[in-house]
Structure formats: C-alpha cells, structure tokens
Amino acid sequence: MRDPRGIIVALIGLGLLFFTAEANHFLALLGLTVFFGGLPLAFAALFFRLRQGVLCAAVLGLAMGAGLPGSPLPVLALFLFSHAVIFALRPRLHAHEATSRTIAVLLANAICFLGLSLLYPPPLWALGSWLGRLGLEFFLSQLMLMGMTPWLFSLTDRTLNLFGIIVEEELRELS
Amino acid sequence: MDKRTLSQARPFLVLGLVLLAWLLLPTAVRTLLRVSFSEFHAPAVVTASHLRDLQAFWGTRLHSKRDLIEAGRDLARLNAHYELGIQELETIRLERDRLEALLDLPSVPGYRYEIARVARRDFTSWWQQVLIRKGSRHGLEEGMGVIFSGGVVGVVREVHTYTAVVDLLSSPRVRMAVFVEGDDRPVSFRGGANPALGPAFGRADFVPADISASPDRPRLVVTSGLGGIFPAGLAVGLIEQLEPGPDGLFRTGRVALDPRLNRLAEVAVLVPLEDGSGPAP
C-alpha cells in the first residue's frame, strides 16, 4: 500500500478499543463502562485526506459492529457519520491547537455515544435507570477523553513519523 | 453551490456511497466481512483472558500453606455434601425413567454441561453480553442456554470457532417463559437494564392476579422448561413488587437479577443430548 496512514491510525484505534474493552471488563463489577471511539475518528478527520479518513472510520466501525447484536451496518454508518461531521467542520477548527483537537474529539465521541443510544434503546419501562447510567457513563467518558486526547494524538503523530509521515506539515500545505 | 459548500458536503456524499455499496454487497460478502472481523479480534481477547487467569494463579500462590489447607478442608466437606446430592439425584432420575416407561411419557430433554471461562464482560448501557472461551469446536450452537451457580446467565447469540457471545439475562433481547416458584402457570420474562452501581433487572409480565410479592416476601422466578433451552426450576431472579398490568387481568413486576451476574468468571453452556437421556453428572 502506497499510503498506510489510514491503516496505521485504524490499528491504533483498534488497540484503543481493545484496552477500553479490557477496562470495561473490570468496570462491569460496578455496572459502568467507558467509550472512547471518537478519539481515533477525530484524529483521522482532522489530519487526513477524505479517503484515508473514511478507510480508518470504516475499519473501526466494522471492527466494533462485528461483535454487536444485529448487522454491523448501523455502527459503520455511525462512525462514518461522526467522521464526516468532524471533516466538514475542519476548516473552522484549528487542528494544530490543543483545545480545538479536544473539542473535535469530544464532539466525535458525543455523536457516537448519542448514535449508539438511538441504535440500542432500552425498553420504555427501564428508561429511567438506563438514562441515569448513560448520563454517568457519558460524563466519565468525556472527562477521561479530555486527559487522553493529547496523549493519543501525540502517540499517533509519533507512530506516523516512524513511517515518514508528518501530518502537521501536510495539514499546513492543505490549508 | 459554491466550492466550499461542495467540499464540506463531500464526506456526507462518501458516507452515502459507502452505505449504498454495503447494501448492494452480496450477503455472503457481508457475512464474510463480519465473521473475519469477529475472528480477527478473538485471539487478542482470549489471550488477555488467559493472562488474567495466569495473574490470578500467581496471586493465589501468594497464599500461605495454612490458608490452602483450610480451603482444601472446606472443599472436602463440600465435595462430600455434593456426593450425597449426586446419589440422591441418580435415584430420582431412575425413578423418573421408570415412571416415563410405565406411563409411556415423552422423555425429559437432557443436557451436557460445557464449562467455559468468561473472556470478556461487555455490559454497556446499550448491550449486555459476555464472550466465552468455547465455540463451535466444542459443540456450541446459537440459542443454547447458559447457566452459572446462581441460575440462568443468558442465551448464546453468536458462535465462532473458539469463542461464543452470550446475551445476558438483563439484555432486552432475552425473553423467555418462566414460572413463579410454587405456581405452574407460565409468565413472560424480558430483560431490562443493568443500572450503574446496582444489580441488573428484568420484568415479568402476565403474572396471574392472585400471585403477590413484596420486598419483605419476594417471590423467586424460575425457568419453566418450556421451549427446551433451559430445564425447569433454574433461578432467574426475584420479584419484589407486583403492579396491575394495563389490561387489569394480569400483573407485572420488576425482577431483580442475581448481583453475581456482574462478576461472572465461569459459566456452563447447556448442550442438549441427542438421545434425550438425563444430564451428565
């Protein structure tokens, strides 16, 4: 493959999803989970060309959707939609600024969170306790993402550097 | 439409095209893609699970010999108790077989217990499932019942070569006919939710109006044996309160599930025996 960046970020994203699932295995004791799917999506949407970003979002969406009830299509569509929103907002976001990156990640994650909640709704009679847990998990996930964003962006950036890809320079050229 | 608007609309256009391409893909390709992704991440999940087991093993090795001797003594007592139980069960099984033959009754379905370690607990707000370390290689099939020491765990939803996904009892996807203990009229059970910092729950519908339950005197809900997935009499949960249903003829109630479901480490899959003989000891 001539340009492996989409696959590299997808692999980092898969690693992140794996470690999140491991953390959720232990958090299940408390009846809690966290979700960070928006993090790699936002990176791909902020720094890559459309094709590479879509490839990354599609791999992540299919990987996540494959293990869930029903068809993986809704999760694939959700991840692609989240990527598309951040990509469309890219001209207004300053990708080289830490605050803008964090906002993009939080937005991408919130879209995925909301989308999954619409895709997998609870029975109406259990809505109260479901909303309570959902709110707590959303707050926890977004809070943790604020701390994780600089770290994962830096990790991804360094990994891409190993393959001779300098995304920040390319972004400057693109803009 | 100016260039900038078009540029911003491009990702959504691509999204539409990708989704259209997915819908147009033949089912075989879609299934292959899905299975490939599932089987691709299975080794990583199973390896992590084995590492946790190894960690637990080394943790246990730190216990003193005195602790181990005491645990061994307690286990010996339990084993003796279970030996007696097995003998009693064997007598009951023989008596049942004799009556079946005498009255020309259809035989009660038997099961083989396939013990499996839980590789991953995945209890989100959106779905509640566990991944177990047994799959089609071990004779597992979709729709089989899964139990643990506290009663019913759920139903096998997906089977891969070495792993299987089980829908937990608290998942809204799980529905079954149950009995309120001491009553033989079927009641409908449906999974509900798994709230934070508390036990999961489901709901019982179509409970006959003459059955009552209260937090002081909760009623146990057990499997009915109807449908053949679970044998009759396995614990599902406790009804702590019943309210009149919308039709006024029946009652509905919240079923509190076993809190140990959130800590599952090992389960048993009920594999039906083809010859219809009783469960293996």
User: What value does the mean pLDDT of chain B take?
Assistant: 87
Residues B40 and B162 in one domain: no
pLDDT band for A137, please (50, 70, 90 cuts). Answer: very high
Cα–Cα distance for residue pair B119/A18, rounded to 1 Å: 13
CA within 13 Å, CB half, B277: 6
B75, part of any domain: no
- The nearest CA of chain A is from the CA of B37 a distance in Å of 6
Residues B130 and B234 in one domain: yes
B4, part of any domain: no
Residues B137 and B259 in one domain: yes
The whole-number average pLDDT for the span B229-252 is 88
CATH code of the domain containing B239: 2.40.10.340
What confidence tens digit (pLDDT) does each residue in A82-115 have?
A: 999 999 988 888 878 889 999 999 999 999 999 9
What confidence tens digit (pLDDT) does each residue in B26-49 have?
A: 888 888 888 888 787 788 888 999
B68, part of any domain: no
The whole-number average pLDDT for the span A8-34 is 91
Cα–Cα distance for residue pair B10/A86, rounded to 1 Å: 12
Least confident of A94-103, A128-137, B100-109: B100-109
Of A165 and B147, the structure prediction assigns the larger pLDDT to: B147
B73, part of any domain: no
Q: How many residues does chain A have?
A: 175
What confidence tens digit (pLDDT) does each residue in B162-181 have?
A: 999 999 999 988 999 999 98
State yes or no: pLDDT of B281 exceeds 50: no
Q: Which residues of B touch A25 (CB under 8 A)?
A: 120-122
Q: Which helix (H) or strand (E) holds B214?
A: none
Q: Which residues of A touch B203 (CB under 8 A)?
A: 123, 125-126
Range of the domain at A133: 5-174
CATH code of the domain containing A163: 1.10.1760
Q: Which residue of B has its CA nearest to A26?
A: B121
Q: What is the pLDDT of residue B275?
A: 61
Interchain pair B38, A25: CB under 8 A: no
Give the ipTM of the model, two decimals please.
0.84
State yes or no: pLDDT of B86 exceeds 90: yes
CB proximity list for B176: less than 8 A, separation 6 or greater: B188, B189, B223, B224, B227, B229, B230, B236
Cα–Cα distance for residue pair B71/B243, rounded to 1 Å: 45
Of B10 and B267, the structure prediction assigns the larger pLDDT to: B267
Range of the domain at B210: 112-274
For chain B, the domain total comes to 2
Interchain pair B41, A137: CB under 8 A: no
Cα–Cα distance for residue pair A108/A116, rounded to 1 Å: 12
Torsion of CA A157, A163, A165, A166, to 10 degrees: 50
B99, part of any domain: no
State yes or no: pLDDT of B278 exceeds 70: no
- The nearest CA of chain B is from the CA of A81 a distance in Å of 7
Residues B236 and B138 in one domain: yes
Q: Where are the alpha helices (DSSP H) in chain A?
A: 5-27, 38-47, 50-66, 73-89, 98-119, 127-162, 167-174
